[in-house]
Structure 1
Amino acid sequence: MNFLYIRFCFDMAVYRGLSDDELTDLLKTGDKGAYTEIFNRYNSLLYIHAYKKFQNREEARDVVQEVFTMIWQRRETLNSISNLGGFLYSCVHNSILNYISRENIKAKYIDSLQSFIDTAPELTDGLIREKQLRAIIEKEIASLPLKMRIVFEMSRNEKLSHREIAEKLNISEETVKRQVKNALKILRTRLGLFLYLIFYFFYR
Protein backbone atom coordinates (compact mmCIF):
# COMPACT_ATOMS: atom_id res chain seq x y z
CA MET A 1 0.00 0.00 0.00
CA ASN A 2 2.80 2.41 0.91
CA PHE A 3 4.64 1.50 -2.28
CA LEU A 4 1.56 2.27 -4.36
CA TYR A 5 1.12 5.62 -2.63
CA ILE A 6 4.78 6.49 -3.19
CA ARG A 7 4.47 5.49 -6.84
CA PHE A 8 1.33 7.62 -7.19
CA CYS A 9 3.09 10.65 -5.69
CA PHE A 10 6.06 10.10 -7.99
CA ASP A 11 3.82 9.88 -11.04
CA MET A 12 1.97 13.06 -10.12
CA ALA A 13 5.28 14.85 -9.55
CA VAL A 14 6.22 13.92 -13.12
CA TYR A 15 2.97 15.38 -14.44
CA ARG A 16 3.53 18.58 -12.48
CA GLY A 17 6.74 19.08 -14.41
CA LEU A 18 4.99 18.94 -17.78
CA SER A 19 3.93 21.98 -19.79
CA ASP A 20 0.31 22.74 -20.63
CA ASP A 21 0.90 21.65 -24.23
CA GLU A 22 2.35 18.32 -23.10
CA LEU A 23 -0.56 17.76 -20.73
CA THR A 24 -3.02 18.58 -23.50
CA ASP A 25 -1.40 16.05 -25.83
CA LEU A 26 -1.58 13.37 -23.13
CA LEU A 27 -5.18 14.29 -22.33
CA LYS A 28 -6.16 13.64 -25.94
CA THR A 29 -4.95 10.05 -25.52
CA GLY A 30 -7.12 9.54 -22.43
CA ASP A 31 -4.33 9.93 -19.87
CA LYS A 32 -6.10 10.33 -16.52
CA GLY A 33 -2.95 11.54 -14.80
CA ALA A 34 -2.70 14.43 -17.24
CA TYR A 35 -6.37 15.22 -16.68
CA THR A 36 -5.86 15.22 -12.90
CA GLU A 37 -2.92 17.57 -13.20
CA ILE A 38 -4.87 19.95 -15.45
CA PHE A 39 -7.66 19.92 -12.86
CA ASN A 40 -5.25 20.58 -9.99
CA ARG A 41 -3.51 23.31 -11.95
CA TYR A 42 -6.60 25.27 -13.00
CA ASN A 43 -9.53 24.33 -10.78
CA SER A 44 -8.96 26.98 -8.09
CA LEU A 45 -8.23 29.76 -10.59
CA LEU A 46 -11.33 28.99 -12.63
CA TYR A 47 -13.47 28.75 -9.50
CA ILE A 48 -12.30 32.20 -8.35
CA HIS A 49 -13.12 33.60 -11.78
CA ALA A 50 -16.60 32.06 -11.74
CA TYR A 51 -17.26 33.10 -8.14
CA LYS A 52 -16.49 36.74 -8.95
CA LYS A 53 -19.26 36.61 -11.53
CA PHE A 54 -21.85 34.69 -9.49
CA GLN A 55 -21.04 35.53 -5.86
CA ASN A 56 -22.43 32.05 -5.21
CA ARG A 57 -20.16 29.12 -4.32
CA GLU A 58 -22.33 26.28 -5.57
CA GLU A 59 -23.09 27.93 -8.91
CA ALA A 60 -19.40 28.68 -9.40
CA ARG A 61 -18.47 25.06 -8.56
CA ASP A 62 -21.13 23.72 -10.92
CA VAL A 63 -19.92 25.81 -13.84
CA VAL A 64 -16.28 24.81 -13.35
CA GLN A 65 -17.22 21.15 -12.95
CA GLU A 66 -19.23 21.28 -16.17
CA VAL A 67 -16.16 22.59 -18.00
CA PHE A 68 -13.85 19.87 -16.67
CA THR A 69 -16.45 17.20 -17.45
CA MET A 70 -16.74 18.59 -20.96
CA ILE A 71 -13.00 18.55 -21.71
CA TRP A 72 -12.73 14.93 -20.57
CA GLN A 73 -15.71 13.83 -22.64
CA ARG A 74 -14.42 15.68 -25.71
CA ARG A 75 -10.71 15.05 -25.12
CA GLU A 76 -10.18 13.29 -28.44
CA THR A 77 -11.45 16.30 -30.40
CA LEU A 78 -9.40 18.99 -28.65
CA ASN A 79 -7.11 19.48 -31.61
CA SER A 80 -7.13 23.25 -31.90
CA ILE A 81 -6.01 24.19 -28.37
CA SER A 82 -2.90 26.34 -28.49
CA ASN A 83 -3.34 27.89 -25.05
CA LEU A 84 -4.84 25.56 -22.43
CA GLY A 85 -5.36 28.24 -19.79
CA GLY A 86 -7.01 30.59 -22.25
CA PHE A 87 -9.18 27.78 -23.57
CA LEU A 88 -10.40 26.84 -20.07
CA TYR A 89 -11.14 30.47 -19.15
CA SER A 90 -13.06 30.86 -22.40
CA CYS A 91 -15.09 27.72 -21.63
CA VAL A 92 -15.94 29.00 -18.15
CA HIS A 93 -16.86 32.40 -19.55
CA ASN A 94 -19.19 30.82 -22.11
CA SER A 95 -20.75 28.59 -19.45
CA ILE A 96 -21.42 31.66 -17.30
CA LEU A 97 -23.12 33.40 -20.23
CA ASN A 98 -25.21 30.29 -20.91
CA TYR A 99 -26.21 30.14 -17.24
CA ILE A 100 -27.23 33.80 -17.22
CA SER A 101 -29.21 33.22 -20.41
CA ARG A 102 -31.04 30.28 -18.81
CA GLU A 103 -31.80 32.38 -15.73
CA ASN A 104 -33.23 35.15 -17.91
CA ILE A 105 -35.46 32.60 -19.64
CA LYS A 106 -36.63 31.37 -16.23
CA ALA A 107 -37.44 34.94 -15.22
CA LYS A 108 -39.55 35.36 -18.36
CA TYR A 109 -41.44 32.14 -17.57
CA ILE A 110 -42.07 33.35 -14.02
CA ASP A 111 -43.37 36.71 -15.26
CA SER A 112 -45.57 34.93 -17.79
CA LEU A 113 -46.97 32.52 -15.21
CA GLN A 114 -47.62 35.28 -12.70
CA SER A 115 -49.36 37.34 -15.36
CA PHE A 116 -51.51 34.36 -16.29
CA ILE A 117 -52.45 33.75 -12.67
CA ASP A 118 -53.21 37.44 -12.08
CA THR A 119 -55.49 37.63 -15.11
CA ALA A 120 -57.33 34.36 -14.46
CA PRO A 121 -58.96 34.75 -11.02
CA GLU A 122 -61.54 32.02 -11.56
CA LEU A 123 -58.90 29.48 -12.46
CA THR A 124 -56.72 30.70 -9.61
CA ASP A 125 -59.60 30.28 -7.14
CA GLY A 126 -60.41 26.86 -8.56
CA LEU A 127 -57.94 24.36 -9.95
CA ILE A 128 -54.64 26.06 -9.14
CA ARG A 129 -55.13 27.27 -5.60
CA GLU A 130 -51.89 26.95 -3.70
CA LYS A 131 -52.95 24.10 -1.40
CA GLN A 132 -54.31 22.08 -4.28
CA LEU A 133 -51.17 22.61 -6.31
CA ARG A 134 -48.97 21.60 -3.42
CA ALA A 135 -51.06 18.47 -2.84
CA ILE A 136 -50.80 17.43 -6.50
CA ILE A 137 -47.07 18.10 -6.62
CA GLU A 138 -46.31 16.36 -3.31
CA LYS A 139 -48.34 13.32 -4.38
CA GLU A 140 -46.28 12.94 -7.55
CA ILE A 141 -43.02 13.39 -5.66
CA ALA A 142 -44.10 10.75 -3.12
CA SER A 143 -44.72 8.29 -5.96
CA LEU A 144 -41.14 8.53 -7.27
CA PRO A 145 -38.94 5.44 -6.80
CA LEU A 146 -37.66 5.38 -3.20
CA LYS A 147 -33.95 6.07 -3.81
CA MET A 148 -34.75 8.75 -6.38
CA ARG A 149 -37.23 10.41 -4.03
CA ILE A 150 -34.74 10.47 -1.15
CA VAL A 151 -32.09 12.14 -3.31
CA PHE A 152 -34.60 14.57 -4.81
CA GLU A 153 -36.04 15.62 -1.45
CA MET A 154 -32.57 16.12 0.05
CA SER A 155 -31.83 18.43 -2.86
CA ARG A 156 -35.21 20.19 -2.81
CA ASN A 157 -36.13 20.34 0.88
CA GLU A 158 -32.78 20.32 2.64
CA LYS A 159 -31.10 22.45 -0.05
CA LEU A 160 -28.04 20.19 -0.06
CA SER A 161 -25.54 20.31 -2.89
CA HIS A 162 -24.95 17.26 -5.06
CA ARG A 163 -21.63 16.68 -3.33
CA GLU A 164 -23.19 16.85 0.14
CA ILE A 165 -25.90 14.37 -0.85
CA ALA A 166 -23.33 12.01 -2.33
CA GLU A 167 -21.31 12.08 0.90
CA LYS A 168 -24.36 11.49 3.11
CA LEU A 169 -25.65 8.57 1.03
CA ASN A 170 -22.23 7.17 0.14
CA ILE A 171 -22.88 7.31 -3.58
CA SER A 172 -21.16 9.10 -6.43
CA GLU A 173 -21.90 12.71 -7.26
CA GLU A 174 -22.73 11.62 -10.81
CA THR A 175 -25.40 9.25 -9.43
CA VAL A 176 -26.94 12.12 -7.48
CA LYS A 177 -27.08 14.33 -10.57
CA ARG A 178 -28.63 11.53 -12.61
CA GLN A 179 -31.28 10.82 -9.96
CA VAL A 180 -32.28 14.49 -9.71
CA LYS A 181 -32.38 14.83 -13.50
CA ASN A 182 -34.51 11.71 -13.87
CA ALA A 183 -36.86 12.88 -11.11
CA LEU A 184 -37.44 16.16 -12.94
CA LYS A 185 -38.13 14.28 -16.19
CA ILE A 186 -40.71 12.08 -14.48
CA LEU A 187 -42.41 15.06 -12.81
CA ARG A 188 -42.45 16.93 -16.12
CA THR A 189 -44.28 14.01 -17.73
CA ARG A 190 -46.74 13.43 -14.89
CA LEU A 191 -47.59 17.04 -14.05
CA GLY A 192 -47.82 18.42 -17.58
CA LEU A 193 -46.02 21.55 -18.72
CA PHE A 194 -48.11 24.16 -16.90
CA LEU A 195 -48.09 22.53 -13.45
CA TYR A 196 -44.45 21.51 -13.87
CA LEU A 197 -43.39 25.10 -14.57
CA ILE A 198 -45.31 26.32 -11.53
CA PHE A 199 -43.57 23.66 -9.43
CA TYR A 200 -40.16 24.41 -10.92
CA PHE A 201 -40.26 28.13 -10.37
CA PHE A 202 -42.40 28.58 -7.26
CA TYR A 203 -42.19 25.47 -5.08
CA ARG A 204 -38.59 24.26 -5.45
Structure 2
Amino acid sequence: MHNYSKYSDEALFKMVIDGTQHAYTEIYKRYSNLLHSHAFFKLQDREEAKDVVQELFVNLWDKRHLIQLESNLSGYLYRTLRNKILNIIAHKKVQAAHEASLQLFLDSKPVPTDYQTRDKQLTLLIESEIQSLPKKMKEIFILSRKDHLSHKEISEKLNISEKTVKNQVNNALKILRSKFGLLIFLIYYLK
Protein backbone atom coordinates (compact mmCIF):
# COMPACT_ATOMS: atom_id res chain seq x y z
CA MET A 1 0.00 0.00 0.00
CA HIS A 2 1.06 3.55 -0.76
CA ASN A 3 2.40 5.61 2.18
CA TYR A 4 0.26 8.76 2.20
CA SER A 5 1.71 10.15 5.44
CA LYS A 6 4.74 11.55 3.56
CA TYR A 7 2.62 13.87 1.41
CA SER A 8 1.90 17.51 2.20
CA ASP A 9 -1.65 18.59 2.99
CA GLU A 10 -1.94 20.34 -0.37
CA ALA A 11 -0.76 17.27 -2.29
CA LEU A 12 -3.21 15.10 -0.35
CA PHE A 13 -6.07 17.49 -1.05
CA LYS A 14 -5.30 17.42 -4.78
CA MET A 15 -5.55 13.63 -4.59
CA VAL A 16 -8.83 13.94 -2.68
CA ILE A 17 -10.21 16.12 -5.47
CA ASP A 18 -9.29 13.32 -7.87
CA GLY A 19 -11.21 10.86 -5.67
CA THR A 20 -8.36 9.13 -3.81
CA GLN A 21 -9.97 7.84 -0.62
CA HIS A 22 -6.66 6.91 1.03
CA ALA A 23 -5.54 10.55 0.78
CA TYR A 24 -8.84 11.58 2.37
CA THR A 25 -8.26 9.04 5.18
CA GLU A 26 -4.80 10.50 5.78
CA ILE A 27 -6.25 14.02 6.11
CA TYR A 28 -8.82 12.64 8.53
CA LYS A 29 -6.07 10.96 10.61
CA ARG A 30 -4.04 14.18 10.71
CA TYR A 31 -6.81 16.54 11.76
CA SER A 32 -9.83 14.76 13.27
CA ASN A 33 -8.51 14.59 16.85
CA LEU A 34 -7.30 18.20 16.84
CA LEU A 35 -10.57 19.43 15.36
CA HIS A 36 -12.58 17.35 17.81
CA SER A 37 -10.62 18.78 20.77
CA HIS A 38 -11.20 22.31 19.50
CA ALA A 39 -14.92 21.67 18.93
CA PHE A 40 -15.31 20.11 22.38
CA PHE A 41 -13.54 23.08 24.01
CA LYS A 42 -16.01 25.46 22.33
CA LEU A 43 -19.21 23.40 22.62
CA GLN A 44 -18.59 21.52 25.90
CA ASP A 45 -20.48 18.52 24.50
CA ARG A 46 -18.59 15.45 23.26
CA GLU A 47 -21.35 14.11 21.01
CA GLU A 48 -21.98 17.51 19.47
CA ALA A 49 -18.25 18.00 18.90
CA LYS A 50 -18.03 14.56 17.31
CA ASP A 51 -21.03 15.30 15.06
CA VAL A 52 -19.74 18.67 13.88
CA VAL A 53 -16.32 17.21 13.00
CA GLN A 54 -17.94 14.28 11.18
CA GLU A 55 -20.13 16.71 9.24
CA LEU A 56 -17.06 18.77 8.33
CA PHE A 57 -15.28 15.71 6.91
CA VAL A 58 -18.37 14.44 5.09
CA ASN A 59 -18.69 17.86 3.44
CA LEU A 60 -14.97 17.85 2.64
CA TRP A 61 -15.44 14.66 0.63
CA ASP A 62 -18.85 15.46 -0.86
CA LYS A 63 -17.91 18.99 -1.92
CA ARG A 64 -14.27 18.38 -2.76
CA HIS A 65 -14.73 19.58 -6.35
CA LEU A 66 -16.21 22.89 -5.17
CA ILE A 67 -13.70 23.76 -2.44
CA GLN A 68 -11.19 26.47 -3.29
CA LEU A 69 -8.33 26.55 -0.78
CA GLU A 70 -7.45 30.21 -0.26
CA SER A 71 -4.62 29.44 2.13
CA ASN A 72 -3.69 25.98 3.39
CA LEU A 73 -5.80 22.95 4.20
CA SER A 74 -5.47 23.28 7.98
CA GLY A 75 -6.62 26.90 7.78
CA TYR A 76 -9.60 25.86 5.68
CA LEU A 77 -10.54 23.07 8.12
CA TYR A 78 -10.31 25.33 11.19
CA ARG A 79 -12.22 28.17 9.48
CA THR A 80 -14.98 25.79 8.40
CA LEU A 81 -15.17 24.24 11.87
CA ARG A 82 -15.29 27.68 13.49
CA ASN A 83 -18.19 28.71 11.23
CA LYS A 84 -20.09 25.51 11.99
CA ILE A 85 -19.55 26.02 15.74
CA LEU A 86 -20.70 29.66 15.53
CA ASN A 87 -23.85 28.52 13.72
CA ILE A 88 -24.54 25.94 16.43
CA ILE A 89 -24.00 28.51 19.21
CA ALA A 90 -26.21 31.07 17.45
CA HIS A 91 -28.93 28.47 16.98
CA LYS A 92 -28.73 27.52 20.67
CA LYS A 93 -29.04 31.18 21.70
CA VAL A 94 -32.13 31.68 19.53
CA GLN A 95 -33.64 28.44 20.82
CA ALA A 96 -32.90 29.40 24.42
CA ALA A 97 -34.49 32.83 23.91
CA HIS A 98 -37.62 31.24 22.45
CA GLU A 99 -37.81 28.74 25.30
CA ALA A 100 -37.32 31.48 27.89
CA SER A 101 -40.01 33.62 26.26
CA LEU A 102 -42.44 30.72 26.19
CA GLN A 103 -41.61 29.77 29.77
CA LEU A 104 -42.15 33.37 30.89
CA PHE A 105 -45.53 33.34 29.20
CA LEU A 106 -46.46 29.99 30.78
CA ASP A 107 -45.28 31.14 34.22
CA SER A 108 -47.43 34.26 34.09
CA LYS A 109 -50.77 32.45 34.01
CA PRO A 110 -53.54 34.82 35.04
CA VAL A 111 -56.39 33.75 37.31
CA PRO A 112 -59.02 31.73 35.39
CA THR A 113 -61.66 34.46 35.06
CA ASP A 114 -59.01 37.02 34.07
CA TYR A 115 -57.65 34.54 31.52
CA GLN A 116 -61.12 33.96 30.08
CA THR A 117 -61.73 37.71 29.81
CA ARG A 118 -58.38 38.28 28.09
CA ASP A 119 -58.98 35.32 25.81
CA LYS A 120 -62.35 36.74 24.76
CA GLN A 121 -60.84 40.18 24.20
CA LEU A 122 -57.99 38.73 22.15
CA THR A 123 -60.41 36.62 20.13
CA LEU A 124 -62.54 39.69 19.41
CA LEU A 125 -59.48 41.71 18.39
CA ILE A 126 -58.24 39.01 16.04
CA GLU A 127 -61.74 38.52 14.61
CA SER A 128 -61.99 42.27 14.03
CA GLU A 129 -58.66 42.26 12.17
CA ILE A 130 -59.75 39.27 10.09
CA GLN A 131 -62.93 41.13 9.15
CA SER A 132 -60.87 44.15 8.07
CA LEU A 133 -58.79 42.08 5.61
CA PRO A 134 -59.48 42.69 1.91
CA LYS A 135 -62.66 40.82 0.87
CA LYS A 136 -61.09 37.99 -1.17
CA MET A 137 -58.21 37.53 1.27
CA LYS A 138 -60.67 37.37 4.18
CA GLU A 139 -62.83 34.79 2.40
CA ILE A 140 -59.84 32.57 1.58
CA PHE A 141 -58.37 32.94 5.06
CA ILE A 142 -61.64 31.98 6.77
CA LEU A 143 -62.03 28.92 4.50
CA SER A 144 -58.47 27.89 5.33
CA ARG A 145 -58.25 28.57 9.06
CA LYS A 146 -61.82 28.28 10.31
CA ASP A 147 -63.39 25.82 7.89
CA HIS A 148 -60.11 23.88 7.66
CA LEU A 149 -60.22 23.47 3.89
CA SER A 150 -57.03 22.62 2.02
CA HIS A 151 -55.58 25.02 -0.55
CA LYS A 152 -56.77 22.64 -3.26
CA GLU A 153 -60.33 22.54 -1.89
CA ILE A 154 -60.43 26.34 -1.66
CA SER A 155 -59.09 26.75 -5.20
CA GLU A 156 -61.79 24.40 -6.53
CA LYS A 157 -64.54 26.06 -4.49
CA LEU A 158 -63.58 29.61 -5.55
CA ASN A 159 -62.35 28.67 -9.04
CA ILE A 160 -58.88 30.18 -8.51
CA SER A 161 -55.38 28.71 -8.59
CA GLU A 162 -53.83 26.98 -5.57
CA LYS A 163 -50.94 29.42 -5.81
CA THR A 164 -53.34 32.34 -5.40
CA VAL A 165 -54.88 30.63 -2.37
CA LYS A 166 -51.46 30.04 -0.84
CA ASN A 167 -50.38 33.66 -1.47
CA GLN A 168 -53.59 35.06 0.01
CA VAL A 169 -53.32 32.90 3.16
CA ASN A 170 -49.64 33.85 3.60
CA ASN A 171 -50.43 37.55 3.13
CA ALA A 172 -53.26 37.37 5.68
CA LEU A 173 -50.96 35.63 8.18
CA LYS A 174 -48.30 38.32 7.66
CA ILE A 175 -50.82 41.08 8.30
CA LEU A 176 -52.17 39.41 11.45
CA ARG A 177 -48.72 38.54 12.79
CA SER A 178 -47.58 42.12 12.29
CA LYS A 179 -50.56 43.36 14.31
CA PHE A 180 -50.45 40.82 17.15
CA GLY A 181 -46.96 39.39 17.23
CA LEU A 182 -46.14 35.77 16.50
CA LEU A 183 -46.51 34.33 20.01
CA ILE A 184 -50.04 35.64 20.70
CA PHE A 185 -51.15 34.76 17.19
CA LEU A 186 -49.82 31.18 17.50
CA ILE A 187 -51.44 30.70 20.89
CA TYR A 188 -54.77 31.82 19.45
CA TYR A 189 -54.55 29.44 16.50
CA LEU A 190 -53.13 26.47 18.40
CA LYS A 191 -55.82 26.30 21.07
Q: 1:117-196 maps to which residues of 2 (within 5 A)?
A: 117-120=106-109
Match of 1:92 in 2: 81
Instruction: Tell me the CA shift for residue 81 of structure 1.
Output: 4.0
CA offsets per residue over residues 97-142 of structure 1, 9 Å max, x none? 11100100110110121123223455xx9xxxxxxxxxxxxxxxxx
Q: 2: distance between equivalents of 1:79 and 1:15?
A: 22
Residue 52 in structure 1 maps to residue 33 in structure 2: no
Match of 2:58 in 1: 69
Q: 2: distance between equivalents of 1:82 and 1:28?
A: 16
Match of 2:99 in 1: 110
Q: Give the AA of the match of 1:74.
A: K
Q: Give the AA of the match of 1:71.
A: L
Q: Give the AA of the match of 2:73.
A: L
Q: 2: distance between equivalents of 1:57 and 1:80?
A: 28
**Is the Cα–Cα contact under 8 Å of residues 40 and 49 in structure 2 kept in the other structure?**
yes
Q: How many residues align?
A: 114
Which structure has more RCO (C-alpha within 8 Å, separation ≥ 6)? Answer: 1
Query: Percent same amino acid at aligned positions?
Result: 43
2:18 to 29, 51, 55: 29
Instruction: Tell me the CA shift for residue 91 of structure 1.
Output: 1.0
Q: 2: distance between equivalents of 1:59 and 1:115?
A: 28
Q: Give the AA of the match of 2:18.
A: T
Q: 2: distance between equivalents of 1:94 and 1:79?
A: 16
Q: Give the AA of the match of 1:92.
A: L
**Is the Cα–Cα contact under 8 Å of residues 52 and 85 in structure 2 kept in the other structure?**
yes
Unaligned runs of 5+ in 1: 1-9, 126-192, 195-204
Instruction: Tell me the CA shift for residue 51 of structure 1.
Output: 1.5
Match of 1:41 in 2: 30
Instruction: Tell me the CA shift for residue 16 of structure 1.
Output: 1.1
Q: 1: distance between equivalents of 2:96 and 2:56?
A: 25
Residue 19 in structure 1 maps to residue 14 in structure 2: no
CA offsets per residue over residues 144-197 of structure 1, 9 Å max, x none? xxxxxxxxxxxxxxxxxxxxxxxxxxxxxxxxxxxxxxxxxxxxxxxxx88xxx
Which portions of structure 1, spanning 4 or more consecutive aligned residues, are displaced by more than 4 angstroms? none
Q: 2: distance between equivalents of 1:78 and 1:92?
A: 14
Q: Give the AA of the match of 1:25.
A: K
Unaligned runs of 5+ in 2: 116-185
